[in-house]
Amino acid sequence: MKEKIELNGEAISLRKAFGEGMDSPIDIFSLIHNNDDLTILFYPMSSRVSGMCIKDGKNKIIGVNSSSTYGRQRFTIAHELYHLFFHKDFKRIICSKDLEINKEPQEREADVFASYFLAPYESMVYFIKNKLKKDKYQLELEDVIRIEQYYGISRQATLWRLINDRYITREKADTMKTGIIASAKKLGYDEKLYKPTPEEKQYATLGKYIRLAEKLKTKELISTGKYEELLLNGFRADIVYGLDTEEEEKYD
């Protein structure tokens, strides 16, 4: 398995390739739209699966378990980016949701990469030392919540990272695995990070697939009927039938 310093370097290099620095939190959902070869599919999957990815030539597809929390979906996308950009010679990979179980080396690498992609090592060290004004093994629940909210990472991914970077003991982390939403609310934070996508929005396709369908229709290479079929297969009835039009047309 690669060393953490190498995975952190790869995470920073990919952030830079997407036009992002190494210090600030990132909006990974917006970030992935800057890559012309990526298609993102949101779909409710088994509770044991966080997501999957497929690579076929230049085409790259990321499948995200939309029944997982928003914070975990962000981690999943970062995890799959490692496979797509740094893992060679594969066509399809299905990834487990549990960060604690023993995994193949490349799966463990992808987890570490994802954590550093969302929160680079140097950035988190600075945040803990200068913003929280804490040292190793001094973090309390409030500090953990501030870290996960700042970087947009789920509680599981946050505790896993802090344990591995030796900022918190496993025993203390075990006391922070319940009452997650309530503890965040008490500090004035929104609960979005800890909740899954609403059921009515758990099916969606974004990125290259949609652009290709639009391009084929514009060039009259497919009929309107085929175009609509492609969109419906990609769970984009909102485009075909003009759903949510009123919301789109608000001008604030």
Query: What is the per-residue pLDDT across 133-156, written as a single tens digit (0 to 9) for each?
Result: 999 999 999 999 999 999 999 999
- Which residue would you say has higher pLDDT here, 97 or 246? 97
Measured CA to CA, the distance from residue 4 to residue 9 in angstroms comes to: 8
199, part of any domain: no
Same domain, 154 and 60: yes
Binning pLDDT at 50, 70 and 90, where does residue 244 land? low
141, part of any domain: yes
Same domain, 133 and 241: no
59, part of any domain: yes
**Cα–Cα distances in Å, from 31 out to 18, 27, 63?**
7, 6, 16
Burial of 144 from C-beta contacts in 10 A (0-12 / 13-18 / 19+): buried
195, part of any domain: no
Measured CA to CA, the distance from residue 76 to residue 97 in angstroms comes to: 8
Averaged confidence pLDDT in the chain: 92
Measured CA to CA, the distance from residue 218 to residue 142 in angstroms comes to: 52
Q: Residue 242 belongs to what domain range?
A: 208-248
Q: How many domains does the chain have?
A: 2
Phi, psi of 246 (to 5 degrees): -60, -40
Average pLDDT over residues 90-108: 85
Q: pTM here?
A: 0.91
Same domain, 213 and 126: no
